Amino acid sequence: MKYLTRLYQLLAQPLSVACTAFALLFSTSAFADSAAGLKVMDKKACASCHDMTGKPGPETVGLWRKGPALYFAGNKYNQSWLKEWLQNPKQVRPSGMFYLDHVESGKRRDMIRTTSFPEHVRLSAVEAGHVASVLSAKRTKTALIRAEKLDPSITAGSAGELLFDKGNGCMACHRIAPDFGGLSGPELHTAGKRLTPEYMLSFTRDPNSWNHKTYMPKRDLTEEELQKLVNYIISLSGGVEVVASQSEESVADQSGGGEIPVFSEEEGIESAAKNYRLYCMQCHGISGHGSGINSRDMAVPARNHSNGKYMQARSDAELFKVI
């Protein structure tokens, strides 16, 4: 009511004075929303699971396996989705934020232990609105966003799923329907409403420019293929809500080549075991038999790495190139 009363008062002022007053009124309102959002986030201890700053330090160690980084949330997420999701949180990653925290051996393949998933806090509509406003203002990777532009006219049509699955193997890790697709990556059947199109373009182009710990590979895609792939993903949720997001390039060429790094035996074994757990077990499984959590929906079956005869027949150079 106080804002309505103030509006009536402003209408009686000269135009220039009224415009200035309007700007002050709404900037004050935005500041109040931001302050309220920060208060809620502090009360709910959001920083205990999410990286809010992007600055390495003791307080951010290990957060990558608890929840997604939010210091560029405004570049990544659509604000309306954030507000809705915070009121009714649903699992975006079927296997949890870090799949190894929730995986166990099964009879036919590794299984996800859903009982170990932590429960996310639920916010009221007012709280969710305030927090969504705060998160949407976090745009530390805008330079990447500005480098991208979605072209809705470049689509794969009926061949979209073929490009997504057979062409690039995306379904091995991602679901395109509630119970269809891989488990270790975020589901994509709501991505068009959840993510900004520029973010999808940028992240698919170069995942490491967003998250140096990601186990999503950088694909060797043409610009046309990239546009088709993102438009297909958007179509899974029935459309897109336009907001801003990002791009760039780094990460080594996946075509192979180059010299094989040399490690000491102790260093090499430790590094290999750690990397295998992080990047390989999701498809090849805890036992290495090719029975990981994603194995059910892989277009090409995961190789059985416990087959010593086959593995020993491959040279180090061949294995290095494949990896």
Q: Please indicate, yes or no, whether residues 97 and 172 belong to a single structural domain of this protein.
A: no
- At 77, is the secondary structure helix, strand, or coil? strand
Instruction: Please name the amino acid found at residue 280.
Output: C
Q: Please indicate, yes or no, whether residues 131 and 35 belong to a single structural domain of this protein.
A: yes
Residue 226 lies in a domain: yes
Q: Return d(Cα 29, Cα 179) in angstroms, integer.
A: 43
Residue 56 lies in a domain: yes
pLDDT recorded at residue 212: 85
- The dihedral of CA 314, 320, 322, 323: what is its sign? positive
pLDDT recorded at residue 267: 53
Kindly give the parts of the chain with pLDDT less than 50: 1-4, 6-8, 10-11, 15, 17-26, 240-258, 260
Q: Judge whether 163 and 229 are in contact, CB under 8 Å.
A: yes
Q: Please indicate, yes or no, whether residues 281 and 225 belong to a single structural domain of this protein.
A: no
Q: Judge whether 182 and 175 are in contact, CB under 8 Å.
A: yes
pLDDT recorded at residue 309: 60
Please list the helix, strand and coil fractions of the chain in percent, rounded to the nearest 5, in that order: 50, 5, 45
Q: Judge whether 98 and 63 are in contact, CB under 8 Å.
A: no
- Give 261's Cβ-side CA count (13 Å radius): 8
Buried b (16+ CB within 10 A) or exposed e, 99-129: beebbeeeeebbebeeeebeeeeebeeebbb
Q: Please indicate, yes or no, whether residues 270 and 223 belong to a single structural domain of this protein.
A: no
Q: How many domains does the chain have?
A: 3
Identify the CATH number of the domain in which residue 35 sits: 1.10.760.10
Q: Please indicate, yes or no, whether residues 95 and 161 belong to a single structural domain of this protein.
A: no
Q: Which domain holds residue 275?
A: 265-322
Tokens of 75: 């570049």
